[in-house]
Every structure is written in C-alpha cells, then in structure tokens.
Amino acid sequence: MGWKVTLGFRNLIEALFIKSFADVGFSLHAIRAMAEAARELFSDPHPFARQLTFSHDNRAIFAELVNTTGEKDLYNLRRRNYAFEPIMRAFLRQPITFEAGGYAKEWYPRKDVAPNVVVTPRVAFGQPVMRRSRVPTRALFDALSAEHGSHRTVAKWYEVSEAEVREAEAFEQDLQAAA
C-alpha cells in the first residue's frame, strides 16, 4: 500500500512560497536556511504563510517589516540583519504578499486560466471553488458532463452565471492536462 501525502493549508502556502523562490534560482538549502531565520525572527512555525511581504534580489530573501514609526524596514533573511531600505528597494524583484490578517486565507491556483477559482480551507473542505458563488469547480464540471456540455442548464441548476460554469470547466480541464 502506497503512502498518501497530505498538506494542511498553511503548509501548502509555504510550499508555494518555497517553489516560487526555487523557480528563480534559490537552492533548497538556501531557502531552508532563510526559512529557519524567518521562523526565529517571527517566533512562528509557518512564517511564509503570514501576512508579510517577501522579496528577493536573486541572492537573499527579504522580509518587509513595519517599524514602530510606521516606516517599512527590510530584513535580510540570509544575512540575518536589516538592509538599508531606500537603496535595496530598487533591486528587489517579485514580491509575494499573503493577504488578510494573520495567515493566508485564500489561494488562486490557476490565476491565468481561471482567475475566479479560489482554494480556502474554510469553504468546501479546501476544494477549488468559484470565488463569488463558492460552488466547487468539480461539481460544475461534473454537472456539465452529465448535461452534455450545456452551460446554460448547469448555470440554472447551481444559480450561477454561465461565465462561472465556463471558468470552472477551463480550470478543471487545465488541472487534468497538468496531471
């Protein structure tokens, strides 16, 4: 019997964070060291899932912090010290911001294909759903198959727009193609 790997939502957000930095060339060893620095700095086992902005300059990951005067400071997680924000800002690339107070609450997994499909642990047990109606994309896709592709009928059943049905269809097809 094979193993089944499951990730909690915070772990998933952190995995996405790590992947985004690995994709731009950071080694997993370097990311791991900077993640440990972030855990210590924030006294949090899941710092990359918090409402913080992280940026990089292709050598180090920087956490953007608000100081007591309300100004932004940059903390270099590689060197474990503060950077001179006005100078470093011009060199930073690809900020990643996790929204909402505290931990990340939502993830848009295929923003380019289906911008209104969201994953959140508080809705439909973490299944991908349509942002406005909160109907699972899989339910819309399966209903579409049962109705021989009638977007209008499925939209009527679920009281959603035909556009939502089409977007759910595009999302599920893209997901299947990626598998």
Model confidence pLDDT, tens digit, residues 52-70:
788 888 788 888 888 888 8
Give the global pTM: 0.60
Q: CA angle 76-82-86, nearest 5°?
A: 100
Provide the pLDDT confidence category of residue 94 given band limits of 50, 70 and 90.
very low
Provide the pLDDT confidence category of residue 100 given band limits of 50, 70 and 90.
very low
Q: CA angle 90-91-92, nearest 5°?
A: 100
User: What is the Cα–Cα distance from 74 to 158, expressed in whole angstroms?
Assistant: 47
Model confidence pLDDT, tens digit, residues 131-149:
999 999 999 999 999 999 9
